[in-house]
Amino acid sequence: MMKTFFKFLFTFFVVISFLSVEKSHAQVNSELSIKTLEKPQLAIRRGIQKSALTSSSVKIPNLKAVLLGAPIDGDNGTWTKSEIANLKKASAMLQQNGVEVHEFYTPNNNWAEIKKAAEGAHFLLYRGHGVYDGSTPPKWVGGFSLKDKFASAEDVMKDLKLAKGAIVMLYGCFTAGNAGSDIGKIDAKEAERRVAMYSKPFMEMGAAAYYANWFGDAFEKYVSLLFEGKTMGDAYKNYTDFNAQTVKYAKHPNLSTTDMWIDHDVWDGKTAYNNAFVGNPNESLTSLFGKNKPTNTNTTSTTITTPTNNSTNNSVPSNAGFVFIDDKKADGSPKTYQEVLAELKGKVVYADVWASWCAPCMNEMPHSQKMQEKFDGKEVAFVYFNLDESDAKWKKTISQKNIKGYHFRLAPDTEIYNNFMTDFNVSGIPHFILIDKKGSINDSDASRPSDASTENAIRQLVSVKTNKVNRMNPNRRGSGLKGYYYINDELVQEKIDAVIDFDWSEKSPFDNGQTEDYQIAWTGSIEPKYSENYTFYTTADDGVILTVNGIELINQWHDQPATEWSGEIRLEAGRKYTIEISYYQAAGGAIMQLMWESPSQKKEIVPQSQLYKD
């Protein structure tokens, strides 16, 4: 991989911290200023070719996980969002296996709430800055850099009461050995010292495994492998980036009975220690938690467990204040969630994803009903998407709790359920969505009814006048996407690219003639012509990442000849969706194309008419 490219990435993931004489814990300061991040940056991650995850064979009830997404380049930065998206993929994998998941994504990093949720947790996952004392070499490393809290190694040891045998997964500088700024500058001994320090608090509190890795898909894959029945050690060895020829097997220097394995890559001739395991390699989920007891679920959020009943909604007459939306069209075919929401076009929609078994969901209901009263007579629809196992339980709860509004049950194992949960990134409930009068998503992860900001957010959308112009005016043309062109990680030019259809061969997209070692990021929005599933295709030489509506469709961030990759997503005609493309060129040929296809749309380069720079 490219020297300057990875140096830039992993330097960014360093947090410089220093010891304070007056205080008993360290304070953390970022090495990069916010000003250096004002321009859009590439979604820089190492892409691993995806393979189908095999079905789970391990079934253990009452497992609990805590996921921490800390600010990396700010609360809403590109890297922060991309790593939280990776955490959500791991969350989905955990939930698929029946694990109760509690998620804390910046700015929701309250340490008191994290401590409470982490009590008895069997999994702890963290993505964020690694930390150290600021000296070279560091005298100590360890802890989390959260939104408003540096949780030191001592805080971790004192405050977190994980379950015995817990599995810890960390992503950040020093956690697996190297920091971004010292790739190629440390030896195996120094890498081992750092991994030993970072893992020690977790191992001393009784954790069975510590995984540290720099790559976005690692946590999801580790979870999948563990639920396939792999031992802790075999899960590490079966991860895509593991190299049996380079890993060093040793014992933890402070814990003589604990294994410590450290692997590395070689980038541009420089060694990067970036993949570590500490723990008992012979343990498995079954041996650790096979006779697991229930956990305390009295927390502020509840994860989604997929119901097993396949019944669909029964249409019932509307009562005063209750509207049950039919799940079928006139011809008897099932509706899409887009068609459900289309029935409410012209209204601001505040959607609530809930279930009667979810205590936090039910705690929000009185606030939601009070909010409805404030908007009585206004163009606002309160829609409740339910995840209960049956119609009977669903409707009984609505009646008993007098939950007024529009109601629709998302039946499990159906296309509408899967599309809804995927497109809105619903990983835990309650989950709220705010949609404007035109049917466009204003906020796919909106604040709760109990949050004072929610009322104001709805009022702002109510006050916007509906645009009467046909949104699919055939004379309207898009502008193309905004392109940001980088050399040596420095932004050197910006321009609007009408379409993404480039074959530079051995030519250069730059005025200075640069033909190797550059990156390009395109951002903007895309507007489909039809309401149906779209398949997006990229042909790239070399690396490419494609994200549409915040959903990563393609991640092939590696050197390759011109290769076509694809990903599918459900889109609605006439709505604009955000699109981000990251591309890098290493050496040799240079090709980047973006195409799309749907049942009504022939496969073609996405035209300028459907692309917008903002």
Mean pLDDT, contiguous 10-residue spans, the chain (614 residues): 42 36 30 26 32 58 94 88 92 90 93 93 95 86 91 91 96 92 92 96 95 92 93 93 90 91 90 95 92 49 38 38 80 82 87 88 92 88 89 88 90 81 80 87 87 88 52 51 86 90 87 87 91 92 89 86 90 89 88 93 92 86
Nearest CA to 316 out of 236, 380, 408 is that of: 408
What CATH number does the domain located at 3-32+62-289 have? Answer: 3.40.50
Top-tier CATH class for 481-612: alpha beta
- Residue where the block lists tokens 């040793």: 250
Enumerate the CATH 3.40.30.10 domain ranges in the chain, comma separated: 306-462
Nearest CA to 568 out of 550, 579, 548, 553 is that of: 553
Q: Are 457 and 436 in contact (CB under 8 A)?
A: no
Q: Are 371 and 403 in contact (CB under 8 A)?
A: no
pLDDT of residue 258: 93
Q: Are 547 and 421 in contact (CB under 8 A)?
A: no
Mutual orientation of helices 359-374 and 452-462 as an angle, nearest 10°? 40
Q: What whole-number distance in Å separates Cα of residue 165 and Cα of residue 292? A: 11
Superfamily of 306-462 according to CATH: Glutaredoxin (3.40.30.10)
Q: What whole-number distance in Å separates Cα of residue 245 and Cα of residue 554? A: 29
Q: Are 518 and 555 in contact (CB under 8 A)?
A: no
Query: CB count, 10 Å around CB of 326?
Result: 15
Enumerate the CATH 3.40.50 domain ranges in the chain, comma separated: 3-32+62-289
Torsion on CA atoms 547, 385, 66, 173, rounded to nearest 10: 10
pLDDT of residue 415: 81
Q: Are 175 and 211 in contact (CB under 8 A)?
A: no
Burial classification of residue 50, based on how many CB atoms lie within 10 Å of its CB (0-12 exposed, 13-18 middle, 19 or more buried) = middle
pLDDT of residue 460: 85
Q: Is the dihedral of CA 375, 376, 380, 385 positive or negative?
A: positive
CB burial string 446-484: b at 16+ within 10 A, e below = bebbeeeebeebbeebeeeeeeeeeeeeeeeebbbbbbb
Nearest CA to 132 out of 33, 13, 15, 212 is that of: 15
pLDDT of residue 413: 73
Q: Does the model's pTM come out above 0.85?
A: no
